[in-house]
Amino acid sequence: MAAELTNHWVEHTSTVPATKDQQVELFVRERDGTPNGPPANRRAVLMLHGRSVPALVGYDLQQPSYGWAEALAQAGYDVFMMDLQGSGLSPRPRMEDPCNVNPAQQIEVTPPLSGSLRTPTYPFVLTNSQSDQDELGTVVDYIRKLHNVSKVSFIGWSAAAFAMGPYAIQHPGKVESLFLLAPIFPPLGPMNPPVLPTPGFPTHVLTRAFEASWGAQVHCSNQREPGIFEIVWSALMDNDPIGRTWGKIQNGRPVGVSRFRNFITWGWNSATAGEGGVLGGSVPALIVHGEFDTTANTTPPSSNPALDFHVPALYDAITGAHKLLVTARCAGHSMPWEGQRGNLHALSKNWLKQLKVDGKTQGRFVMEENGDFTQVP
């Protein structure tokens, strides 16, 4: 069935240091597939992007069989996708200035003036764990009020875990369940916030070198369809009207870059993930990652605890009994754009309906390319 599409602009009082206390509008797209019937039967799902890929590119790619949000809406769910500040169609304060790009990447934006780096006009990191959770909370409450639902199911990809995990622990009465794909999880990550704003820069850029870094995690012949990178890159450019005018000049025009926020995190580690037995308790948790994912599983291990990531360690840290870990064969960090995407869609639909994997509420599983599951120790 067709899902009704609505774009929302959700009012929020910013806690990002660069726009603190200002009224901003967060971009949220809704694909409403809820069948007609009693309002009490409505099921709301909120999808949050990761570090460098905005919500519409990750979840609503306009290509047959690739739209994860559309697949969930067609299954009868009311699906929302949101962009945090610094990403996608939400405000990107201080990111319009190329002087504020990561100094190591300025050569990718435009040649440095007189061979030297530009002086940043905002020499600080843009967003942080608290501002992300505040924005997530505003959108959760907006959805709850909009459709009179008490809880919202969470789906997050990659660095979305930094906001969705702690928020679910702090607000279990508002979260139905937690589905984390390739979650970034530092078991020994920092507990306490730094002084804000933190010195640094607000903007990173993703360049076409992303094709090679993605390709480094492709090890199966049918893992990635020919031409899909160009489709993803085009979608990234569509979501960044400023970034697509930057970059090195080829054939008389810039190749474009995709801007994404620099952010600093804390409060997401083995101690907090197990706090109060919430995750795996009142908030059932499903964790999924690809067998070739070296983004969410740091290889080799980093000497910096804040950058040493391990997906299975999150499963181990969750103290509640209702928790599952699925490793997908022939998949990397970019699973929503790979051959396993159909099984990923089916797994998420089954999870939202039954909160089980292969009929079970606990355990570790391998998901084969044909969609079959094998439980492992």
> CA 361, 367, 371 angle in degrees (round to 5)?
105
Is there a contact between 19 and 126 (Cβ–Cβ < 8 Å)? no
> 255: burial class by Cβ within 10 Å (0-12, 13-18, 19+)?
middle
Region label for 21, one of left (φ > 0), alpha (ψ between -120 and 50) or beta (otherwise): left
User: What's the one-letter identity of residue 213?
Assistant: S
Strand partners, 249: 254
Six-digit token string for 185: 């999880």
Q: Three-state SS for 140?
A: helix
Is there a contact between 322 and 281 (Cβ–Cβ < 8 Å)? yes
> 200: burial class by Cβ within 10 Å (0-12, 13-18, 19+)?
middle
pLDDT for the residue 49: 98
Region label for 338, one of left (φ > 0), alpha (ψ between -120 and 50) or beta (otherwise): beta
| Helices marked H in 18-174 | 55-59, 68-74, 106-109, 129-147, 161-170
R_g of the chain computed on alpha carbons: 20
What is the full per-residue pLDDT of the chain (377 aa) written as tens digits? Answer: 568 999 999 999 999 999 999 999 999 999 999 887 666 678 999 999 999 999 999 999 999 999 999 999 999 999 999 999 999 999 999 999 999 999 999 888 876 655 677 889 999 999 999 999 999 999 999 999 999 999 999 999 999 999 999 999 999 999 999 999 999 999 999 999 999 999 999 999 999 999 999 999 999 999 999 999 999 999 999 999 999 999 888 898 999 999 999 999 999 999 999 999 999 999 999 999 999 999 999 999 999 999 999 999 999 999 999 999 999 999 999 999 999 999 999 999 999 999 999 999 999 999 999 999 999 99
Tell me how far apart the 2 most distant CA atoms of the chain are, in Å.
66
